Structures are given as structure tokens and as C-alpha cells.
Structure 1
Amino acid sequence: MTKTKARPQNLIKQFESKKATIGVVGLGYVGLPLAVEKAKAGFTVIGFDIQEEKVGMVNDGNNYIGDVVQEDLQHLVNKQRLTATSDYAFLQDVDAVAICVPTPLDIYKQPNMQYVESSARSIAANISPGTLVVLESTTYPGTTEKLIKPILEEAGFIIGENIFLAYSPERVDPGNKQFNTKNTPKVVGGVTEECTKVAAALYRAVLDGDVHEVSSPKVAEMEKLLENTFRNINIALANEMAILCHKMDIDVWEVIDAAATKPYGFMPFYPGPGIGGHCIPIDPWYLTWIAREHNYHMKLIESAGEINDSMPDFIIQRCTEVLNEQRKSVNGSKIIVLGVAYKKDIDDYRESPILPVLKKLSELGAEWEVVDPYIPQFVVNDELVETVALTKEKLVEADLVIIATDHSVFDYDLLHKYANLIIDTRNSAVNRADINPSYQKI
């Protein structure tokens, strides 16, 4: 391999002129929207994924991610702006590559970095000198410099000279109608100053949002964890307030709405059946793990995690209470659960807090069905479950309805007219306690 020093300005000019070819490794919830935005910005984009099914769907122009517009994907594929492959040898054709692979936790809530490491090794073995490599997967501080950098150096690259390496955390909020990949501000931190400048130039050529440069990958990695840990802790506070307010016969939603009238010093967060998705339930544990590596115990974060993880049990407790009031037991009751997605109006049920609720209902002998128009089927208790339609007949037959996800498309009028008993975990958009006196919030 040549060790000739690459000129950062040459690569920056390629980005500014949209003449660069961009690679995206991992075509999931983060990678595919990013690949689409880069192609829409005028770049030629190659997506890489080990799952042949995803590769085939992209090349056929068939979308499988909620935040991607089907017509956009089809147009880009037809114009040959976006292609997909499982052959990493095509990395030799790219000028920049983003790593957008999963970073799950193992059973001990420790980071599992096998996908990042495997991707980094495939990249190191195939890219050409002068390429920009950016890690976007959420991870613990130090990953870019302690895991990816050595892999590239083992392949003969010199960071900041004939290869550029940076970290830029993904910021994806599925279902958000205001902010998306295109207009959300981006944070970038390179291993060297040249790395930061090159990476920032790429994102400025793609995105409408501001690009904020920081001094190192560690800063960028840590700020991502701070973002979601902040949300995790504040949701835990809202959940704990909900439990206390229930015990004191106070409407926690009214309390939060009242507090939110303060124009400074308060930001409303809301309770629910728990937290879901790949970020908020996962990211704080990266922080606690790396803290232990530095002989520090993050007590506040772990307590927040315990509170949020306990919310499914609180939902079961409330189900038991309201059924007992009707002289019924959970065992044998027919229960309809509205929504298995972890948040409203999306088709993603990763880490959904509804899954442990369903598992516990099964253990207690309840007969349950799930209504979710965004998710035709899902897996719980290692079994594939088909969702059903919400009908008058099912509502009349059910002993209890749990509003677990407040999808906008649900027929709340039908629900409140015919349901015998309702527990609302989301303070759903249509509070019809005037019609159905059996309606209760958590």
C-alpha cells in the first residue's frame, strides 16, 4: 500500500462538487435513510449489508424503513444513484464510508461490538488510500480511537495522512414530523484536525442542518450518550411521579401540563409503559459500562434504568387492580392491547416495553390480542404473533383494553363507545371518560 500523504482539500473539493462516491455499511434504520439522503444530495451511493434480503429490496427499489419515502428510493435506484451489495470488495470504489451497524448489549448489559469490529476489518481490507471513514453507530467513548483506529493502522494506513477517521453520531427519531436525517444538526469529531474538516465537509454537502465540529471522537461519542441518558433519566422521573400520583389519586398528566406552563427551567417528559427503541433503553448502559472501566459507579443512571424497566410490572399491577374491581381475575380474562410499536405512528417494536407486558399476561393466564396497523406480525415468547383489526365485536367481548401505544389511526370513538374497561398508559389523544366511565389512566 502506498503511504503517500493524501491532500484533505482534494477530498473536500470532491464532496463540495458532489463527485465523490459514498459507501454506507449497514442498511437498517440509520443506514438506509442516510444512504438515501446522500444520494438525494447528488452523490453516487453504494450500500453494503450482509443480509441479502435487504440488498435485494434496495436494488428493487422496495423500501422497508418508515422514515424513507418509497418514491424517493425507487427514483434513486432507477437513476443508479443508489445501489446495494453484500460484496465488500466494492469499498475500493468509494471516497468515504459510514459505518451504521447495530451496537447491541449482551445479557450482562455490556457493549457487543462484533458488528462494528467486523465492519471495520472489511473496510480496512478493501478501501483505497485517501478515503474518509466515519463511525455513526452509537457506542461508548473511545471506540473510534481504540477499536477502529488500530484496525486501520494494522492494514498500513496512517490516520490523518492517507486515511481520515471520524465519529459522527446518528440522530434518528422515527416518526418525528419536524426533524429527520436531512435537517437535524450533526456533530462531528475527527481523530485529527484534518479528519474533522474532511468529515464536516461531507455532511455539509449532504445535510441542511448545522454541522458542529468538536475536538475529538471521544467528545462526539460522549455527547450522544448524554443526549439519550438525559431523556432516560427524565422519563424515569416522569414514571416515578406517575406511580406516586396514582397512589395519591392525582392526575400526573395534569401535573405535567401545569408544570410545563413555566417558560424556563422545565421541559415536559411523560410517563408510559416503559421505554423502547434502540437508543434510550440501550445508550445509558454504555455509559455505566465505561464508567466502571474508570472505577466510577453511575448510580443515578442505573436507578433510572431500574425505574423504567419496572414500568411493565406497574402496568400489570394496574390491570390486576381494575379487573379485581370488576370481580374478575387476570387469569382467563380477554385483553386487547392497542399497539406493540415502542412509540406512536411507527412500525418499530425493538425493545418495546409492551413485550414484557404481554409475556407477563401470558404467565398469568390472560387471553390477549394485539392491534397495531403498522406491525402485521411480531415475535414474543419466541413465537410469531399476528396482529388483529380493532372491531366493535372484539371490544364488546374483551374484559379489558390496554392503550399501550397511542397511534393516531386508532378509532378512539369506537374504543370508548364499546370497550368495557380501559387502561390508558399514554394519555391518548382522545380522553372520553365522559362517554366511558371505566376509562382509567396509569
Structure 2
Amino acid sequence: MTSNQAIQFGLTVSSQELLGRFQSRDAKVGIVGLGYVGLPLALTAAKANFSVLGFDINRSYVDRLNQGESYIRHIPSDLVASAVATGLLQATNDFDRLKEPDAILICVPTPLTQHREPDLSYVKATARTIAAHLRRGQLIVLESTTYPGTTEEVLKPIFEATGLKSGKDFFLAYSPEREDPGNLNFSTSTIPKVVGADGSEALALADALYRQLVVETVPVSTTATAEAVKLTENIFRAVNIALVNELKVVYAAMGIDIWEVVDAAKTKPFGFMPFYPGPGLGGHCIPIDPFYLTWKAREYDITTRFIELAGQVNIHMPYYVVERLVEAVDRSGRPFSGSQILVLGAAYKKNVDDMRESPSLKLMELIEARGASADYHDPHVPELPPTRQHGALMGRASVPLTPENLRHYDAVLIATDHDDVDYRLVVDHAKLVLDTRNVCAKAGIVDSRIIKA
């Protein structure tokens, strides 16, 4: 018996019918949340010849998608237009249509509260909306990153309050998203998919669906295990980034270049994996996910000291960078208070327009708290969008990167290393450059006005 046959063994007649629709790709797939996770997933399902109905409360997203237009920079509009033109992809904000899909995949945000505790308000609201339209024979899969137990302890009771039972009337699973916006080497379909479910039938169904979408599925024993897999992946990155950030501070005090150290260390063919420092953590995963486990661990009277220490180190990095900036400007003979600083890069990572948890926003706030003014340039972010924690910066526009503008500022702080920025132009015309990404050295630019931070 193959692993796939083992998963499917013992299915009821009704779930066998649903399984058949997944395998023949005759099923309709609903995706709730059409952002950085939901839209790529919708396009992947449509490319696999599934009929896809996307749901989002953002009317602009719905309208633009139905017009064949992408609203996410690294997702080309021609991919959206092609999926819409075939009739396989449609978007709506009419949640009464949730009864139509055979499978509903939930891709909504799971941020932190101001007290760094899990905020499941989007997940709960989505679950309640689905429950109001839940019908027999549907597969519901949560993809949003969360703490172990969420699917079983939060979603399942909401759905079963309708009188329908998981594993009998509907099927419940968890499969964490593994998106990496802007990564040209991996797409949704080429990344293996971890799948956990509430019971063997739900696992067989979720596994069968994702087998049509991705290169490989990785079934695990429970939804909590699948939830833990996602947290472990991002905690691993957060801890290692914290380590190299701490080493950066130590080595800088010794006059040692951390980037040179890491590049030399990674030549070892075993026992080392390169991570690089930065001005702080960004994106929806690494700055947030570790704290989901930290919060859940308290239920078991366990303190996650290692994770919390890593979080403290990473959270402190924008403060360290601004201190280096203040010192550099003061040493140049200009008082930092009253100076004008240009932050180069607003997105949290290179070559995307993703602003989620971007350290650039914190950097700008800290700069202005020290009495200076902060502008920014980003070729992918023409205007700073609304955010939960940085409302005072909302609406600021990207400053054109011209020689005249560069000469106007007392310092340029490189926070994001976009490829389509002329760093030679920056160095030639800026009075001072603080490089947090080592991008100038990578470009072969050497100048006494460049300071690594």
C-alpha cells in the first residue's frame, strides 16, 4: 500500500465523491483573503484548472482582480489577466457565495496585539462568516500562521456550533503557507506543502487537493503538528538572524566586518548556514510568529527564553542603527538634531512592495524622535500605506532619487537593498551613507563616506 493509498483508506462514500472531484479537478476552490498569500494560491489553483472563487473585503482588490490587474508588484498582471480570461478565476466580496466552493482555504492575517499576543480576530471573523454559510461536504483549510491548537480549539467549535460535525458533515485541515514574496527560485507550486487535518478523511481530502497544486505534499499526524511546523521554520530563522545581529554589534566594536566573516564562514561545506544582519526584522512571519509559540507555551507553564531573547535582540536593531547614524552625523560636524535623513527603501525586503512590519517605518520614527526629519525613497512604494502602528507616517511620498535631492540630505540610510537602485549615484552625491545591508560593498563601491551598520 502506498502512502497515498494509506491516507485514503476507509473513506466514506460522500468523502470519496469529494476526493474524486479534487483528483479530477472538477471541484470549485474558494480562497478567503487575496493578499500576498491568497492571490498566489488562487493563481496556482486556476493554473491547475480548478475553478477558483476568491473572497476579500477589500473592494479595490476584487475589482482590480476581476479586471485582470495585479495589485502586488511581484505578481505580473498578465498572470492575473490570463486566469480571469479563462473564466477559472473570479473574485467577490459577496460572502453569501461561500456555499459554492467545495474547498475553502483561509488566508487572512494573524498579527500581534500591542502587547505582543496573538490577534486571531481576522481568523475568528472569517470562521464565523464561513459558519453562517457552511454546508455539508465542504473542506475547510486554514493557511494562516498561528499557534498549535488553533484549528482544533478555535475554528472547530465555531463550525460545529452550526450543528454540523467535523469529519462527518464537513472536513477541517491546516496547511501552512510558505510564500516568500519576490523569490524567483520558488513559487507556490514548487514548494512542498505540509498538511495536517482533523481525522483521516479530512487528511485524505486536503492531501488530494494540494497534490493537484504543488510539487509535493507532506502529511503530518495532526493539525497542531502542522501548525508547529510553520512556527518552527520561522523561529529557526528568527533565532539565527538574532545571533548574527548580535555578532554584528560585537564585531563592529572590534573593527571586524560581520559580512566578511559570514561570507568566509559559509565556505565550510558542512555545519554552517549563512544568515545576514539587517536593520531589523520585517515581513509578516519572522517578527511575529515566534511570539505565537511564546504565548501558547505559557499555558503549559513553560518560558521560551531562547525565543524571547532572540526577539529582544531583533527588536533592538533599529535602535542600534539609529545610534550609529547619530554618531556618524555628529562626527561629520553637523548636529543630528535638525538634520535631514533619507531612508533608502521602505519595503521590508528587496524587490517587493511589501510593507508588512517593515523596519524602515521604525527607523523613520526613531530618527524623528531624535529631532531630525526623515524622508524615504523606494521605487516600489510610491506612498506609505496605512499601518496599525505607524499612523503618523501614512501618506508620505517617495522622494525621487536625483543628484540634487541626494546632496540635500545630511545622510542616506540604506535600509532595503533593492536591485533597481543606482548605488553608485547614491554614494557619488550623498554627504554620508549608512549601509545596513552591505549593498555598496557587494556592488564594489568603496568610499570613506560609507559606514556599515
The TM-score bracket by the shorter chain reads over 0.9
1:268 and 1:358 map into 2 onto residues whose CA distance is 28
1:373 and 1:260 map into 2 onto residues whose CA distance is 32
Select which of 322, 340, 345 maps to 1:339. 345
2:320 and 2:231 map into 1 onto residues whose CA distance is 27
Q: Tell me what 1:128 maps to.
A: 135
* 2:100 counterpart of 1:97: no
Secondary structure of 2:341's counterpart equals: strand
2:331 and 2:152 map into 1 onto residues whose CA distance is 58
Moved over 4 A (4+): 429-435
2:445 and 2:148 map into 1 onto residues whose CA distance is 51
> Quick one: structure 1 residues 155 and 411, their matched pair in 2 at CA, closer, same or farther if it must change by over 3 Å?
same
> Letter of the aligned partner of 1:20 in structure 2?
A
* 2:296 counterpart of 1:285: no
Secondary structure of 2:298's counterpart equals: helix
Select which of 144, 148, 153 maps to 2:155. 148
* 2:447 counterpart of 1:440: no
* 2:438 counterpart of 1:427: yes
Per mean C-alpha deviation after superposition, the further-off stretch among 259-268 and 329-338 is 329-338
Q: Tell me what 1:254 maps to.
A: 260
Q: Tell me what 1:196 maps to.
A: 203
Select which of 174, 180, 183 maps to 1:167. 174
2:186 and 2:430 map into 1 onto residues whose CA distance is 36
> Quick one: structure 1 residues 61 and 260, their matched pair in 2 at CA, closer, same or farther if it must change by over 3 Å?
same
Secondary structure of 2:189's counterpart equals: coil
Select which of 205, 213, 216 maps to 1:210. 216
The offset of 1:433, in angstroms, is 7.6
The offset of 1:125, in angstroms, is 1.9
1:368 and 1:331 map into 2 onto residues whose CA distance is 12
1:46 and 1:429 map into 2 onto residues whose CA distance is 45
1:116 and 1:192 map into 2 onto residues whose CA distance is 21
* 2:412 counterpart of 1:406: no
> Quick one: structure 1 residues 41 and 431, their matched pair in 2 at CA, closer, same or farther if it must change by over 3 Å?
closer
> Quick one: structure 1 residues 7 and 77, their matched pair in 2 at CA, closer, same or farther if it must change by over 3 Å?
same
1:326 and 1:312 map into 2 onto residues whose CA distance is 21
The offset of 1:368, in angstroms, is 2.5
Q: Tell me what 2:403 maps to.
A: 392
> Letter of the aligned partner of 2:292 in structure 1?
Y
Secondary structure of 1:182's counterpart equals: helix
- After superposition, the C-alpha distances for 1:44-90 in whole angstroms (9 at most, x for unaligned) are 11111122222212212221123422111112212221111112221
The offset of 1:434, in angstroms, is 6.1
* 2:326 counterpart of 1:315: no
> Letter of the aligned partner of 2:432 in structure 1?
L
Per mean C-alpha deviation after superposition, the further-off stretch among 268-277 and 112-121 is 112-121
Secondary structure of 1:169's counterpart equals: coil
The answer to whether the Cα contact below 8 Å between 1:93 and 1:127 also exists between their aligned partners in 2 is no
* 2:19 counterpart of 1:8: no
The offset of 1:436, in angstroms, is 2.0
Secondary structure of 2:439's counterpart equals: coil
Relative to the length of structure 2, the TM-score reads 0.94
The offset of 1:435, in angstroms, is 4.7
The answer to whether the Cα contact below 8 Å between 1:6 and 1:163 also exists between their aligned partners in 2 is no
The offset of 1:310, in angstroms, is 0.5
> Quick one: structure 1 residues 161 and 433, their matched pair in 2 at CA, closer, same or farther if it must change by over 3 Å?
closer
The answer to whether the Cα contact below 8 Å between 2:440 and 2:446 also exists between their aligned partners in 1 is no
* 2:422 counterpart of 1:416: no
1:224 and 1:286 map into 2 onto residues whose CA distance is 11
The answer to whether the Cα contact below 8 Å between 1:6 and 1:161 also exists between their aligned partners in 2 is no
Q: Tell me what 2:6 maps to.
A: none
The offset of 1:432, in angstroms, is 6.5
| Unmatched segments (≥5 aa) in structure 2 | 1-11
1:57 and 1:257 map into 2 onto residues whose CA distance is 43
Q: Tell me what 1:300 maps to.
A: 306
Secondary structure of 1:156's counterpart equals: coil
> Quick one: structure 1 residues 431 and 261, their matched pair in 2 at CA, closer, same or farther if it must change by over 3 Å?
closer
The answer to whether the Cα contact below 8 Å between 1:46 and 1:84 also exists between their aligned partners in 2 is yes
- After superposition, the C-alpha distances for 1:275-295 in whole angstroms (9 at most, x for unaligned) are 001110000000000001111
Relative to the length of structure 1, the TM-score reads 0.96
Secondary structure of 2:291's counterpart equals: helix
* 2:245 counterpart of 1:239: yes
> Letter of the aligned partner of 1:365 in structure 2?
G
1:187 and 1:433 map into 2 onto residues whose CA distance is 41
The answer to whether the Cα contact below 8 Å between 1:402 and 1:424 also exists between their aligned partners in 2 is yes
* 2:72 counterpart of 1:65: yes
| Unmatched segments (≥5 aa) in structure 1 | none
- After superposition, the C-alpha distances for 1:174-218 in whole angstroms (9 at most, x for unaligned) are 1111011111110000110111111010011112x2100000000
1:8 and 1:434 map into 2 onto residues whose CA distance is 62
Q: Tell me what 2:9 maps to.
A: none
> Quick one: structure 1 residues 155 and 381, their matched pair in 2 at CA, closer, same or farther if it must change by over 3 Å?
closer
Secondary structure of 1:337's counterpart equals: strand
**Identity %, equivalent residues:** 47
- After superposition, the C-alpha distances for 1:398-421 in whole angstroms (9 at most, x for unaligned) are 221111101000101112222221
* 2:377 counterpart of 1:366: no
The offset of 1:163, in angstroms, is 1.1
